Amino acid sequence: MKTTVSTRLISLPEKKQKIGTYLRRYGILYLLMILPLTYFIIFKYIPMTYIQVAFKKYSIVKSAWEMPLADSNGFEYFIKAFSNRDFLYSLRNTIMLNLLDLVLGFPAPILLALLLNELRIKWFKRITQTIAYLPHFLSWIIISGMAVQLFAPTSGLVNILLNHMGIKSIPFLNNSANWVVTYVFLGIWQSVGWNTIIYLAAITGINPELYEAAAMDGAGRFRKIWYVTLPCLRPTIVVLLILSLGRILGSEFDRPYALGNALVKDVSNVIATFVYTYGIRGLQFSLTTAVGLFQSAVCVIFLFMANALAKRFGERGII
Amino acid sequence: MVTSKRSKIGDWVVVFLCFLLILVCLLPLLNIFARSLSASEALIRNEVTLWPIGLNFEAYRMVLSDVKYTWSLTWTALLTVICVFVSLVMTTICAYPLTYRKLKGRRFFSAFIIFTMYFSAGTIPMYLLLNDLKMLNKPVVLIIPYCLNVFYMIIMRSFLLQIPDSLRESAEIDGAGPVRILFQIYLPLSTPVIATLCLFYAVGRWNGFSDALMFMNDRTYYPIQLLLYNIINSISSIEISTQEGFSPPGLSETLKAATIMFATVPILLVYPWLQRYFITGVTLGAIKE
């Protein structure tokens, strides 16, 4: 007891001195961080306090804290959302389009990376990669503009070619079922090249001795891919799969908004566009905040579930 | 012998498939390019495929002589430059302190920041906040609210962490402070990541439109993509044809194509030169600490 008191007496000024030198040396780092942290507080954390609007009756003259609680213990707008036909449609469309993206769009860059990896001619490989990255740099507005012109029933290039082959014009963007296919296809077109980057980097990291050993055992091209490349890509694939699963209820705004049109509303409206039309255009703030909260919460839950699942299968996970 | 012959055929199949891929990526752009340079009559007769028919530069001349387009292009370019600058400064001063292992509270700050990547309040709370901040419909709303991207910050931090600590330590022994070390050691070594983030932020701003659509009502400050959206969806095409009066109906089609070219070409000219850099950038983003 006595000794601890005495050491404390000695170390107190010493500690103070230590803090002094620490601050003199590194205090400037905290100063640097003030601006970014303020940014996160104002534009990321303060909006979270506005989430309470979802549970309250919105009033333009009151602050979010002063608004009266909504009916049904505050859950009025959640109940309203789930009895709103437009919302239910947008929920269905979000899940449907994301699932199609996952099933068809997720394997595409893996296949393309495997293909590019088989390319022996260096300069041709580099040109192919550069051109494959191109669509990633186009905005959805531009892609939509090009798609409208290319897929136009009478004047579009694709339908002109189809007509030459004796096939009738297909209304790619004006019919619900066709629109969904076009939407998914354009998504793959836009992102497949870009998404190969990460897989190609992982492939470069594979130990070449593995391939030599496989060749020694008489493995051909496909066996090398199946027994060497793909198993080495497994951790990368799992991490990216977790992220995509976490986004299954997340919705992009740009893509469906730019590609959608009045004729395919029943399949092109997703949660993000619903929030835009009902919230910012229709000023139903409580309803759309509730919808947004539902979406964010489900996204987080999905992410954690996918992460736990990956860990269960012996992968590292992301969180 | 047999296997080598088989693998040779395989090589040709691979080349052929890659060639197809190149075509699929390039043809849409070539088609738009051809349309923008074609005579409007040829467009109406559906003759234009991959090369211009009745070559003329009328559409480009019209775009360049229309103040609406030239202003929007200039404004978007200016906006992009400002956004890239603000974003890079913010990203750097956020990522750099987080690379100091001795910094007390580093884990807390990281968690505080990364949390916002997984959970966000949503569009409407952001809208209400911007409304309360009186930022709606002011040009600043297109710069500040999304100026710091957590994912890009992580890319930057991962890159800075790769720079050996010994460099920093020797500079500290010579009496250099953190800011001086940042400017004289870290930034000069960070060209790849700075180039990458420049490209990402610039593309994001140049191609972005949803923030303008939601938070900006003033048409003067519409970025080029939003103007393009309105043109493509013919909201203002009636306006255009009545203004021009005598213009043939196909002209609005070549005009659309020319506008698309103007909004696309700046990025297409830049990104191939930065390829080496952004590949490292994307790969770094996959590293988690």
A240-285 pLDDT, tens digit per residue, is: 888 888 888 888 899 999 999 888 889 999 999 999 999 999 999 9
At A56, is the secondary structure helix, strand, or coil? strand
pLDDT confidence of B254, banded at 50, 70, 90? confident
- Tens of pLDDT, residue by residue over B66-96, are 888 899 999 999 999 999 999 999 999 999 9
- In whole numbers, what is the pLDDT of chain B averaged over residues? 86
The amino acid present at A157, given as its one-letter code, is L
- Tens of pLDDT, residue by residue over B119-176, are 888 899 999 999 999 999 999 999 999 999 999 999 999 999 999 989 988 998 888 8
Residue that wins the pLDDT comparison between B285 and B200: B200
State yes or no: pLDDT of A196 exceeds 80.
yes
Query: Cβ of B100 and A133 within 8 Å?
Result: no
Q: Would you say A137 and B271 are in contact if contact means Cβ atoms under 8 Å apart? A: yes
State yes or no: pLDDT of B251 exceeds 70.
no
To the nearest whole Å, the CA of A90 is away from the closest chain B CA by: 16
pLDDT of residue A111: 95
Element housing B89 (H / E): helix B67-95
CA distances B229 to A51, B207, B223, Å, are 31, 11, 10
Domain boundaries, chain A: 2-55, 72-312
pLDDT confidence of A319, banded at 50, 70, 90? low
Interface of B with A in 28-67 (CB under 8 A): 28-29, 31-32, 35, 43-44, 46, 49
Query: Cβ of A201 and B286 within 8 Å?
Result: yes
Interface of B with A in 267-286 (CB under 8 A): 267-268, 271-272, 275, 279, 282-283, 286
Q: Cβ of B131 under 8 Å from any chain A Cβ?
A: no
Q: If we measure between CA atoms, which residue out of B27, B28, B52 comes closest to residue B40?
A: B52
pLDDT of residue A318: 66
Q: Would you say A89 and A265 are in contact if contact means Cβ atoms under 8 Å apart? A: no
The amino acid present at B241, given as its one-letter code, is S
To the nearest whole Å, the CA of B73 is away from the closest chain A CA by: 15
pLDDT of residue A33: 93
What is the fold, at CATH topology level, of the domain defined by A72-312? Answer: MetI-like fold (1.10.3720)
At A154, is the secondary structure helix, strand, or coil? coil
pLDDT of residue B289: 39
At A227, is the secondary structure helix, strand, or coil? helix
Q: Which residues of B touch A201 (CB under 8 A)?
A: 279, 282-283, 286
Identify which of B94, B206, B228 has the shortest CB distance to residue A33: B94
State yes or no: pLDDT of B287 exceeds 80.
no
pLDDT of residue B240: 44
pLDDT of residue B205: 95
In chain B, the percentage of residues whose pLDDT exceeds 70 is: 91
State yes or no: pLDDT of A180 exceeds 80.
yes
Identify which of A26, A47, A299 has the shortest CB distance to residue B102: A26
Which spans in chain A are helix H?
A: 2-40, 46-49, 76-82, 85-100, 107-117, 122-133, 140-150, 157-164, 176-204, 208-216, 221-224, 230-246, 254-259, 265-268, 271-275, 285-312
Q: Would you say A142 and A229 are in contact if contact means Cβ atoms under 8 Å apart? A: no
pLDDT of residue A83: 93
Residues A221-228, mean pLDDT to the nearest whole number: 89
Q: Cβ of B263 under 8 Å from any chain A Cβ?
A: yes
To the nearest whole Å, the CA of B242 is away from the closest chain A CA by: 22
Q: Any residues with CB less than 8 A from the CB of A134 and at least 6 apart, and which?
A: A193, B25, B26, B29, B268, B271
To the nearest whole Å, the CA of B57 is away from the closest chain A CA by: 19
Closest A-chain CA to B19: A128
Residue that wins the pLDDT comparison between A156 and B98: B98
ipTM passes above 0.90: no
Residue showing tokens 């370019």: B77
Query: Cβ of A44 and B6 within 8 Å?
Result: no
Torsion (CA) B70, B71, B74, B77 in degrees, nearest 10: -110
In chain A, the percentage of residues whose pLDDT exceeds 90 is: 49
Q: Cβ of B140 under 8 Å from any chain A Cβ?
A: no
Q: What is the DSSP letter of A281?
A: I
In chain B, the percentage of residues whose pLDDT exceeds 90 is: 48
Helix axes B106-118, B150-162, angle to 10 degrees: 140
Structure tokens at B94: 């956020």
pLDDT confidence of A3, banded at 50, 70, 90? very low
How many A×B Cβ pairs under 8 Å?
242
Could you give the CA distance from residue A31 to residue A29 in angstroms, rounded to a whole number?
5
Query: Cβ of A197 and B279 within 8 Å?
Result: yes
pLDDT confidence of A42, banded at 50, 70, 90? very high
CA distances A176 to A93, B11, B49, B209, Å, are 11, 40, 27, 25
pLDDT of residue B175: 86
pLDDT of residue B234: 65
Residue that wins the pLDDT comparison between A170 and B43: A170
Residues A178-183, mean pLDDT to the nearest whole number: 94
pLDDT of residue B3: 55
Query: Cβ of A43 and B264 within 8 Å?
Result: no
Residue that wins the pLDDT comparison between A295 and A161: A295
- In whole numbers, what is the pLDDT of chain A averaged over residues? 88
Q: Would you say B129 and A47 are in contact if contact means Cβ atoms under 8 Å apart? A: yes
Question: Per-residue DSSP letters for B248-267?
Answer: -TTHHHHHHHHHHHHHHHHH
pLDDT confidence of A26, banded at 50, 70, 90? confident
Could you give the CA distance from residue B203 to residue A309 in angstroms, rounded to a whole number?
35
pLDDT of residue A9: 52
Residues facing A69 on adjacent strands: A56
pLDDT of residue A87: 95
Residues facing A56 on adjacent strands: A69
Report CA A307 to chain centroid distance, whole Å: 15
Structure tokens at A212: 């030599």
CA angle B192/B225/A108 to nearest 5° reads: 60
pLDDT confidence of A222, banded at 50, 70, 90? confident
CA angle A157/A139/A136 to nearest 5° reads: 85
At A169, is the secondary structure helix, strand, or coil? coil
Identify which of B21, B121, B209 has the shortest CB distance to residue A128: B21
Residue that wins the pLDDT comparison between A18 and A111: A111
pLDDT of residue A311: 82
State yes or no: pLDDT of B19 exceeds 80.
yes
pLDDT of residue B255: 84
State yes or no: pLDDT of B245 exceeds 50.
no
